[in-house]
Amino acid sequence: MSYCELCGHQTFEKKMVVVDGTVFNVCIACSKRGKPYTSPQIAVKKKKPFAAKKPQKKIGLADETILTPNFARLIRETRMKMGLTHEQLGMKMNEKAQILKKFETGSLKPDEIFAKKLERYLGIKLYVSANSDEE
């Protein structure tokens, strides 16, 4: 035996109803005041067949390449062989001449993106494979 949660009367038979978004255990007489409660259905995810998976491309890690130790000398020598000043190379690459000077003195190391740009314009290789013994 239990009590109706709306009117408080003792009841032998209870129903679950929703009144203003709240679920109550009520007697038959009070069950008219709300909507019948139905328990939510648990969504079952459909599994895709194993063969339907596409092979994923592996992302290359930045640790596989390293900046060559003599990058500063290499940049300077190549720029001078091409007969370009810092300003001319900077204009060609759409970069500031001051940053090129810092790379050539070794006070600043180019990141991979800038190094690729230098490699393209100067025709040199700054980042080499970490597994090789190149310098």
Q: Which one, of 129, 116, 133, lies nearest residue 64 by Cα?
A: 129
pLDDT band at 112 (very low <50, low <70, confident <90, very high): confident
CA 44, chain centre distance (Å): 28
Q: What is the pLDDT of residues 52-88, one digit of tens each?
A: 556 666 555 456 778 888 889 999 999 999 999 999 9
Residue 40 has pLDDT above 90, yes or no: no
Q: Which one, of 35, 31, 9, lies nearest residue 20 by Cα?
A: 35
Domain ranges within the chain, ordered by starting residue: 2-36, 62-129
CATH code given to domain 62-129: 1.10.260.40
pLDDT average, residue stretch 34-58:
67
Residue 7 DSSP label = T
pLDDT average, residue stretch 87-114:
90
pLDDT > 70: what percent of the chain?
80
Distance of CA 66 to CAs 43, 74, 125, 129, 132, Å?
A: 49, 15, 11, 6, 10
More confident residue, 41 or 15: 15
Q: In angstroms, rounded to a whole number, what is the distance separating the alpha carbons of residues 16 and 126? A: 73
pLDDT band at 135 (very low <50, low <70, confident <90, very high): very low
Residue 15 has pLDDT above 70, yes or no: yes
More confident residue, 132 or 124: 124
**Which ranges of 3-107 would DSSP assign to H, the alpha helix?**
71-81, 86-93, 97-105
pTM to 2 decimal places: 0.49
CA-only gyration radius of the chain, Å:
37
Residue 118: other Cβ atoms inside 10 A:
23
